[in-house]
Amino acid sequence: MRPVPKIATIVGGGVIGGGWAARFLLMGWDVRVFDPDPQAQRKIGEVLDNARRSLPGLSDVVLPPEGALSFHDTLEDAVAGSVWIQESVPERLELKHKVYHSLQTLCPPDAIIGSSTSGFKPSELQRDAIRPGQIVVTHPFNPVYLLPLVELVTTDENATLVADAKEILTSVGMYPLHVGAEIDAHIADRLLEAVWREALWLVNDGIATTAEIDDAIRYGFGLRWAQMGLFETYRIAGGEAGMCHFIGQFGPALKWPWTKLMDVPDLTDDLIDRIADQSDAQSGAMSIRALERARDDNLVSILRSLKARDFGAGALLNAQDARIAGLVGLPDDLTRPIVTVERAVPLDWTDYNGHMNEAKYLQAFGDATDRLMAMVGCDAAYIAGGSSYFTVETHLRHLDEVHAGTVIRVETQVLLGQGKKLHVFHRMFAGDRELATGEHMLIHVSLEARRASEPGPVLARSLAQVAEAHAALPVPEGAGKAVGLRE
């Protein structure tokens, strides 16, 4: 891995550059921004506001401490000591060449220079460069801080840094798709371009409006593509016979004149006005910021849903959580309650009152119980062996409000860990502010008999060790209480 401290320089602070800044910053990197635009600090600040509100909720563990953000008037100051330099200037090749010459005159020779270009090939970017092998294509998708895909396009000149580039991108939660062959617009934008061309014809020919086209995507195949892509979706469409059956059944349709993908209508003033008017009618009631927030809310919900299934992009998020959290057993110090949950409250945990839904308190405490069980030895392997704990009684107390983005911490005390019974008391905090408590009684059961049973000896000893240490702690306020009216 690249040396610490982790420093990334962003050259060009527009929508994409701001997204890169947010991605690195919220993953613990120090970020330096160089952009002569006098509005760059405000623009990036607004992107960061959105990122801080949405990105932490994708994670079920607390993210690394946020890095330091700084803005620089000179390129020399901005690139000093940088490990990663992300170029996001306008798509003009002569401008990019000028920027690379300045960068390579000033930056560390082992820094990676990634370009956000959506169209240029890396060999074009490397032409006449001081160190061609230092420059790669790293093409992301907006919003960079939420969407994981980055197309990593390289040449033979980059052979020595491909592994480092992939490792750095992976470390900040992205999925580097290494494109082995150079082609204009890479992979994803060529696919998008095909859909875009056909959409223009549908509007041009009066067949569909912009809203109808968007509805066809977002209510239909777009949801399938989000988790399986194109080929795997079509493989399923082929039934038990798979892809061969699908191609045999639907392949002949490729010869039918359904689309105009090899052609595109002239972008006349009339067509441009028609598209603009329809788009205004479709979305004009909302500001760009409001549309962005709605987009982020929806992406968080979709991605967290995929995460719960450990499928597609959700599996990637789970792997990132595991990298951040690492493997942790029982703490060395058992003389205090055990921290079993530490995470940000995601957007989809809030209700109509603007604070955390009461069901999510139970989820957080349930996650804490699961973590404690794993710590003492009732992990996936133990459960696969035929035994587990079932919760038989729960009592929650809601003491204070908590909102989306708040980092919560659950501290767990074992009140009883003997024989078949496990009695735990959870306390939820935001900093020093106590938010809620959850008291739970669990019974060890045989999964085969579905009846109470004695735990295995290793689990019993581990649990007894925790219970004995926690017996010296004061009984927490609220333990043993039930819902009732005050006298």
Tens-digit pLDDT profile for residues 91-120: 999 999 999 999 999 999 999 999 999 999
Q: Give me the pLDDT at residue 282, please.
A: 79
Any idea what DSSP says for residue 327? -
469 pLDDT higher than 80? yes
Q: What is the pLDDT of residue 258?
A: 65
What pLDDT shows up at residue 422?
97
Closest alpha carbon to 447 in 374, 369, 385, 378? 385
Q: Report domain extents, the chain.
A: 7-186, 189-285, 327-470
CATH 1.10.260.40 fits 7-186, yes or no: no
Percent of the chain with pLDDT over 70: 95
User: Is residue 246 scored above 60 in pLDDT?
Assistant: yes
Q: What is the mean pLDDT of the chain?
A: 91
User: What is the mean predicted confidence (pLDDT) over 224-252?
Assistant: 77
83 band by pLDDT with thresholds 50, 70 and 90: very high
Q: What is the share, in percent, of the chain residues with pLDDT greater than 90?
A: 69
Whether residue 14 contacts residue 157, with contact meaning beta carbons closer than 8 Å, is answered with no
Q: Tell me the sheet residues that pair with 389.
A: 444
pLDDT digits (tens, 9 = 90+) for 230-240: 888 878 777 77
Q: What is the pLDDT of residues 393-404, one digit of tens each?
A: 999 999 999 999
Strand partners, 87: 11, 115
Give the span between the Cα atoms of 408 and 255, in whole angstroms: 57
Q: Is the pLDDT of residue 254 over 70?
A: no
Helix (H) or strand (E) holding 178: strand 175-179
Per-residue model confidence (pLDDT) at position 487: 61
CA dist 189 and 139 (Å) reads 10
Tell me what the mean pLDDT of segment 15-20 comes to.
95
Q: What is the pLDDT of residues 291-325, one digit of tens each?
A: 888 888 888 888 888 888 898 888 889 899 888 87
According to CATH, what is the number of the domain 189-285?
Answer: 1.10.1040.10
Is it the case that residue 379 has pLDDT exceeding 60?
Answer: yes
User: What average pLDDT does the segment 13-24 reach?
Assistant: 95
C-alpha span between 350 and 67 (Å, rounded) = 27
* 434 vs 269: which has the higher pLDDT: 434
* CATH code reported for the domain at 327-470: 3.10.129.10
CA-closest candidate to residue 69, choices 45, 35, 99: 45
**Residue 1 pLDDT > 60:** no
pLDDT digits (tens, 9 = 90+) for 126-155: 999 999 999 999 999 999 999 999 999 999
CA distances from 373 to 52, 96, 388, 407 (A): 32, 55, 9, 23
Q: Average pLDDT for residues 31-55, to the nearest whole number? A: 95
Q: Mean per-residue pLDDT for 269-298? A: 83
- Indicate if the alpha-carbon torsion angle 170, 172, 175, 178 is positive or negative: negative
How do 433-446 and 451-452 pair as beta strands? antiparallel
- Of 180-189, 266-275, 416-425, the range with the lowest mean pLDDT is 266-275
